[in-house]
Amino acid sequence: MTDSQESTGAQVVMRRLLAEGVDVCFANPGTSEMHFVAALDTAPGMRPVLCLFEGVATGAADGYARIAGRPAATLLHLGPGMANGLANLHNARRAHSPVVNIVGDHATNHKALDAPLESDIDALGTWLHGAVHRPESAADLDAAVRDAVRDAVGPLGKVATVILPADFSWGPAEVPAAEVEPSEQSDSSETIDVTAAAELLRAHGDKVVILLGGTATGASGVSAAARIHAATGARTLVETFPARLARGRGIPPLDRLQYLGEVATQQLAGATHLILAGTRKPVWFFAYPGKPSELAPEDAQVHTLAPADLEKLADALGAVAPEPAEPDPLPAPTGPLTVQNWPLVIGALLPENAIISDEANTSGVLLPAATASSPPHDVLTLTGGAIGQGLPVAVGAAVAAPDRPVIALQADGSAAYTISALWTMAREQLDVTVVILNNRSYAILQMELQRVGTAATGERSRSLLDIGNPNIDFAAIAQGFGVPATRATTAEELAAQFAAAVEEPGPHLIDAVLSRVP
Amino acid sequence: MTDSQESTGAQVVMRRLLAEGVDVCFANPGTSEMHFVAALDTAPGMRPVLCLFEGVATGAADGYARIAGRPAATLLHLGPGMANGLANLHNARRAHSPVVNIVGDHATNHKALDAPLESDIDALGTWLHGAVHRPESAADLDAAVRDAVRDAVGPLGKVATVILPADFSWGPAEVPAAEVEPSEQSDSSETIDVTAAAELLRAHGDKVVILLGGTATGASGVSAAARIHAATGARTLVETFPARLARGRGIPPLDRLQYLGEVATQQLAGATHLILAGTRKPVWFFAYPGKPSELAPEDAQVHTLAPADLEKLADALGAVAPEPAEPDPLPAPTGPLTVQNWPLVIGALLPENAIISDEANTSGVLLPAATASSPPHDVLTLTGGAIGQGLPVAVGAAVAAPDRPVIALQADGSAAYTISALWTMAREQLDVTVVILNNRSYAILQMELQRVGTAATGERSRSLLDIGNPNIDFAAIAQGFGVPATRATTAEELAAQFAAAVEEPGPHLIDAVLSRVP
């Protein structure tokens, strides 16, 4: 640390981030961020993680927040750099992940000139429904960073952006270092109504659906929901794309509300009451011709319960934990890899205390059943629907939890969006095993083409959903980015390669080539 | 073609695009765009080009426009898809490239539900300083597309966005097919003042700087500028990042205004008058501590001349074409590849009528000198400073000009942003030769770190500018995406591999590994 006389604005930003507990920065810097980069040399507590693309940096910050429970910073290069990171910030917003973007901007006297990289950074922050802080002077920097971290962390996590003009960054600090004190964290608890919920459940039993999301999908929330179900018959479901879901042996395997609205509607059919814990009223992911947009029955009453109250509610109902099901030994699958058998391989071999970054998409429909009796683990899902999230989220999760194995189950089409995340895994020697579910197609769109009711049968339209021409060799690409890789075409090969990959520290990739006709 | 009774809104959109002369669509579709995809089967005139990432699709549309002189469409998946394409649309905006985005949106009755992919698409279009058309009903679709194409093409090219709600797309057309007629194109000419410019040049001679950009950087504009220089002594310069610059044997090799403001200031020093043809007043790319933001002398008078008037101005001055310099035979370099010798290899072997997509960045500083006597060619540069443009622009240029060889000279760090463009090159068998200038660093940032006046000498800050840990093997990655690839470490290897690559149709990649110490 230098003293205040010698400090730059960038050093003030760095110190305030550290004082607020933000000590990891996923970075893709440019010229306007060079002073922030330089300030790293005076801040040994800050861990910089270099990413080759901003979408990797922002997705990594999302994954970090979901596992660490606190925000990382990103370092982004003006508006275009933030634009490159925007889709995964959209996912972070939907996950309610706290993220603090430090976005460099032109020096204040340079803004009006409309230099090539000039753009409206504030508008991008606003697009994310996040908090945007543009300090008016160097003296505002400390407060801007403090407020941004507070905005990010509570009561509901959000994406907060600090716009850092280059001249404030290189100029002298206007806050002495001694004044930088950790601020108080916001309280993230919400109002509760345990008594009313208990009455409702006693009165309506299996006509009640409890939908869990946000912080309610940890082991305690899921277990409490299972107890409530056992005591009252209420249906319990997890939102379609939870930010972080506890699963595995000893944790009740609650069903998720399905992505396909047709199925989700059935899951909610007949409900007269919907209790939302950490999530909001479910809607169809897309609209389809002639279909409704809401998933719950029209006349169902909707209630909101604080996630922290789930256990109290279970206690109030006198609910006891159901007998945990004895884990069935999973059959060891054999033969060509298919959408049916690959999840069984992963389920059987999942290491203890793993984190799954799940962007398997259509290839992953059978994964929940296959991992229900695996060792306890956390699953991070595609919260905002903007694909290309899985590999970056795995980077962030591995940085947040270096002692836990991270398994990225990744559809091929989505993998191509942010494939350079592999390089950061290699550089940081992160313990991530990537399994590419390689079906050589945008399979979800082949399904969607039918669902939206089109009569497309032509070669030209179908060709836009086929990414098998040419086939992508993900093992070659991984090796190009410095990640050891293999290729599996049978269940036996996948099992051998997966076991070896999780055994050895550091990143590995398995290109799991699925047979087109299972 | 189906008749109007059977048409969908998506088919109306497709037919109007074709009627306006837009017949290529760079696509990365999703569910909300499925009817547009299906409509391809009824529109054989539309060429769909699938890209694995939206940033590839938008950069390709930019490259296409720069070569074809007319817009391509992009097909993007709601706000997050547009977000992924935003940085290269920023570059297209700065290139004044006409681009027509077709961005699918949720059905109108689904918007209010804040479904996971919901976002403010209009705000992203506005961020681009572009035109945004959101049709109010299916009956507005035809006019929205017509107006968007008109907005895109003139008088200055821009990015126009049509937001296409899914229900309008799948609903019945409300405009009979017979009413779809090509609209008149806007006139792109500007006011002129040849006489005054001639007087100015006669009076002030070498105190005048003529700065060319936009449409003034074709062979005729550049040649006229050279004539004016010969007749009056006026200095002639091309803007730092021209969208499309004519170069090579027989075309006067005008200097470009340099990226480094220190150098650019010298290029403009002493000027009392600045004549802008197709560009605007030049400013520093970034601001630096204690440096000015304007590049031209403070007291210089600034004038604007229509690009089309350059030849008339040269005629009015009675300027004759200077004797073309005899092309010097270039020495054939030998030994390890360096930043000095690779451009000589390319300059000596550049095929006839080539298009260079130049994102060589710091590795390309000697390229202009090395290609001055190469066969005539066009150079497409990084107009908006948002890196990751070079490979997508090469895709678009190759689609626009299938009979011309496209050479992508690509810095390694920037290549990682949009590397999946290689797959589209393979799929479409585009005649693109990619040369990766692989120096294993963000070399430009190593320079910028010093330029902004930081005292950074630490290992931690320097590590953020070093992408050589691990080294990226671009040949392996290219093969993974289906592009044949080789690796060159000497000038002789690069020469042999480049000659072979341009000889054989289809895409090739050469990973040109530069020695760190030249």
The 3 state secondary structure assigned to B288-319 is: CCCCCCECCCCCCEEEEECHHHHHHHHHHCCC
- Given B317, B333, B367, which residue is the final one in a domain? B317
> What CA–CA distance (Å, rounded) separates B368 from A49?
36
Q: Is the peptide bond before A292 cis (omega within 30 degrees of 0)?
A: no
The predicted structure's pLDDT at residue A328: 67
Q: Which residue has the tokens 């080759």?
A: A52
Mean pLDDT of A196-209: 94
- Please indicate, yes or no, if residue A324 is contained in any of the structural domains: no
A431: left (phi over 0), alpha (psi -120 to 50) or beta: beta
Q: Both A267 and A133 in a single domain?
A: no
Strands A485-488 and A508-513: parallel
Under 8 Å CB-to-CB from A427, ≥6 apart: which residues?
A50, A482, B469, B470
Paired with B164 in beta bridges are: B104
Out of A113, A287, A459, whose CB is closest to B283?
A113
- Given A283, A317, A351, which residue is the final one in a domain? A317
pLDDT digits (tens, 9 = 90+) for B317-362: 998 888 877 666 667 899 999 999 999 999 999 999 999 999 998 8
> What CA–CA distance (Å, rounded) separates B255 from B354?
20
> What CA–CA distance (Å, rounded) separates B1 from B18?
12
The CATH number assigned to the domain holding B17 equals 3.40.50.970
Q: Which residue has the tokens 């940081």?
A: A428
Under 8 Å CB-to-CB from B298, ≥6 apart: which residues?
none
Q: Considering Cα of A59, then A394, then A33, then A100, what sign does the dihedral take?
A: positive
Mean pLDDT of A418-432: 94
Residue B193: pLDDT band (50, 70, 90) is confident
Burial label for A290, CB within 10 Å (0-12, 13-18, 19+), is exposed
The predicted structure's pLDDT at residue A370: 93
Under 8 Å CB-to-CB from A298, ≥6 apart: which residues?
none
> What CA–CA distance (Å, rounded) separates B11 from B169?
8
Out of A90, A170, A285, whose CB is closest to B115?
A285
Q: Does the pLDDT value for residue A517 go beyond 60?
A: no
> Rounded to a whole number, what is the distance in Å from the CA of B302 to chain A's nearest CA?
15
Q: Which residues of B touch A478 (CB under 8 A)?
A: 480
The predicted structure's pLDDT at residue A436: 97
Under DSSP, is residue B431 helix (H, G, I), strand (E, B) or coil?
coil
Q: And the tokens for A42?
A: 């005076």
- Please indicate, yes or no, if residue B331 is contained in any of the structural domains: no
Under DSSP, is residue B241 helix (H, G, I), strand (E, B) or coil?
coil
Residue A190: pLDDT band (50, 70, 90) is very low
Q: Both A312 and A386 in a single domain?
A: no
Q: Both B352 and B291 in a single domain?
A: no
Q: Both A130 and A204 in a single domain?
A: no
- Please indicate, yes or no, if residue A94 is contained in any of the structural domains: yes
Look at residues B344, B506, B314 and name the one whose alpha carbon lies nearest to residue B428: B506
CB B379 within 8 A of CB B408: no
| Inter-chain CB pairs, A–B, below 8 Å | 324
Task: Report the residue of chain A nearest B115, measured CA to CA.
Answer: A285
Q: Does the pLDDT value for residue A498 go beyond 60?
A: yes
Q: Both B354 and B499 in a single domain?
A: yes
Rg (CA), chain B: 24
Residue B457: pLDDT band (50, 70, 90) is low
Q: Both B305 and B371 in a single domain?
A: no
Mean pLDDT of B26-43: 86
Residue A176: pLDDT band (50, 70, 90) is very low
> What CA–CA distance (Å, rounded) separates B44 from B40?
7
Under DSSP, is residue B230 helix (H, G, I), strand (E, B) or coil?
helix
Under 8 Å CB-to-CB from B280, ≥6 apart: which residues?
B213
The predicted structure's pLDDT at residue A327: 65
Give the pTM.
Answer: 0.89
Q: Are B477 and A472 inside 8 Å of each other by CB?
A: no
- Please indicate, yes or no, if residue B475 is contained in any of the structural domains: yes
Q: Does the pLDDT value for residue B183 go beyond 80?
A: no
> What CA–CA distance (Å, rounded) separates B358 from B1?
41
Out of A37, A124, A445, whose CB is closest to B461?
A37
Percent share of chain A, pLDDT over 90: 65
Considering only residues A95 and A30, tell me which one the structure prediction assigns the higher pLDDT: A95
* AA letter at B379: V
Q: What is the average pLDDT score of chain B?
A: 89
Q: Both B142 and B204 in a single domain?
A: no
Strands B255-256 and B273-277: unpaired
Q: And the tokens for B353?
A: 């009528």
- Please indicate, yes or no, if residue B271 is contained in any of the structural domains: yes
The predicted structure's pLDDT at residue B28: 87
Under DSSP, is residue A191 helix (H, G, I), strand (E, B) or coil?
coil
Burial label for B118, CB within 10 Å (0-12, 13-18, 19+), is buried
- Please indicate, yes or no, if residue A330 is contained in any of the structural domains: no
Q: Are B38 and A449 inside 8 Å of each other by CB?
A: yes
pLDDT digits (tens, 9 = 90+) for A383-398: 888 889 999 999 999 9
Lowest mean pLDDT among A50-54, A86-90, A430-434: A50-54
Under 8 Å CB-to-CB from B365, ≥6 apart: which residues?
B339
- Given A120, A138, A170, which residue is the final one in a domain? A170
- Please indicate, yes or no, if residue A178 is contained in any of the structural domains: no
Q: Both A23 and A77 in a single domain?
A: yes
According to DSSP, residue A233 is labeled -
Residue B292: pLDDT band (50, 70, 90) is confident
CB atoms within 10 A of CB B123: 15
Residue A90: pLDDT band (50, 70, 90) is very high
What's the total number of domains in chain A?
3
Rg (CA), chain A: 24
The CATH number assigned to the domain holding A286 equals 3.40.50.1220
CB atoms within 10 A of CB A73: 30
Q: And the tokens for A83?
A: 């634009």
Out of B48, B417, B453, whose CB is closest to A460?
B48
Range of the domain at B142: 9-170
- Please indicate, yes or no, if residue B185 is contained in any of the structural domains: no
Q: Are B423 and A445 inside 8 Å of each other by CB?
A: no
Lowest mean pLDDT among A252-256, A463-467, B394-398: A463-467
> What CA–CA distance (Å, rounded) separates B421 from B427?
10
Q: Both B216 and B139 in a single domain?
A: no
Buried b (16+ CB within 10 A) or exposed e, A217-251: bbbbbbbbbbbbbbbbebbbbbbbbbbbbbbbbeb
The predicted structure's pLDDT at residue A111: 82
Q: Both A308 and A457 in a single domain?
A: no
> Rounded to a whole number, what is the largest CA-CA distance in chain B?
71
Task: Report the residue of chain B nearest A76, measured CA to CA.
Answer: B386
> Rounded to a whole number, what is the distance in Å from the CA of A304 to chain B's nearest CA?
17
Q: Both B363 and B276 in a single domain?
A: no
Q: Both A297 and A358 in a single domain?
A: no
Look at residues B318, B233, B236, B231 and name the one whose alpha carbon lies nearest to residue B277: B236
Look at residues A435, A447, A414, A422 and name the one whose alpha carbon lies nearest to residue A513: A435
Residue A185: pLDDT band (50, 70, 90) is very low
> Rounded to a whole number, what is the distance in Å from the CA of B261 to chain A's nearest CA?
12
